[in-house]
Amino acid sequence: MYRLIILVLLFPLNSNAQPGSSEELLEKSIQYHDPEGTWGKIPLHLLLRETRPGGADRETSLLIDLQAEHFELNQLRDGKRLLHRLEKKTCSYELDGRSMITEEETQTHRLNCERTQTMRDYYTYLWGLPMKLQDPGTQLGDEVLDTKFDEQACWGIRVTYSAEVGEDIWYFYFDKKTFALIGYRFYHDEAKNDGEYILLEEEVEVGKLKLPKVRKWYTHAEEKFLGADILMKN
């Protein structure tokens, strides 16, 4: 008994110890961001302000309901209010509150189902991280990286996807103490240093989820600031 106490004192449990595998690291991060496992089980309502250098801010309201296969994107853009709605595989639209939309307006605002499905996948992926890294087709690298991101010491994992899901190479970075997701980057061709990196700042609690308040985008090659997504409220 005394020997056990001495061993514990000499070798205390270290919460900052490197996780044994990328799967373990991901599980710890999901436990931080979604401790009660609510992602995908209840509708998620978000209000965003999306800024772009040289352009007007966009006000975007999102409804993501994975259980009901329902997605809504309500966006004020260039003075026009556009509502994209996708229920299962059926798309519908409203422009400034009216559902009667001319062919010219449809073309101008790219109101087609393929684009709406792409927007659903885009927003669901970003706001569902790190939980979305458990989706089928996600291939976690074997190694947990002891690295830096934005000058912060952190853990990292490399992620690729099966061919039917995507071809980009991603890296995700996690706080060493809390395992919170602090940022990520992606490449189309890593050897060319193309693609972008994304910094996450602050947090907002949305129901039981901990989500980033600010997401800032930069290019790898030029270090060019591309814009920010700011979570206003839910």
Chain segment 59-93, per-residue pLDDT in tens: 999 999 999 999 999 999 888 999 999 999 999 99
Q: Residue 155 — pLDDT band, cuts 50, 70, 90?
A: very high
Q: What angle do CA 172, 176, 177 make, to 5 degrees?
A: 135
Eight-class DSSP state of 18: P
On the question of pLDDT at 13 being above 70, the answer is: no
Q: What is the pLDDT of residue 16?
A: 65
**pLDDT over 90, % of the chain:** 88
DSSP string, 25-42: HHHHHHHHH-TT--TTTS
Q: Which of 2-16, 132-146, 220-234 has the lowest mean pLDDT?
A: 2-16
pLDDT (0 to 100) of residue 19? 87
Question: pLDDT tens for residues 31-64?
Answer: 999 999 999 999 999 999 999 998 889 999 999 9
- CA dist 202 and 194 (Å) reads 27
3-state SS class at 22 = helix
pLDDT of 9 > 60? The answer is no
Q: Which of 170, 214, 200, 201 is closest to 188 using CA atoms?
A: 170
Lowest mean pLDDT among 13-17, 56-60, 85-89, 179-183: 13-17
Q: Are 161 and 128 in contact (CB under 8 A)?
A: no
Distances (CA, A) of 61 to 34, 55, 75: 22, 19, 6
Give yes or no for residue 14 having a pLDDT over 50. Answer: no
Alpha carbon separation from 211 to 51, 68, 183 (Å, rounded): 18, 22, 12
Determine if the pTM surpasses 0.85. yes
Query: By percentage, how much of the chain surpasses pLDDT 70?
Result: 92
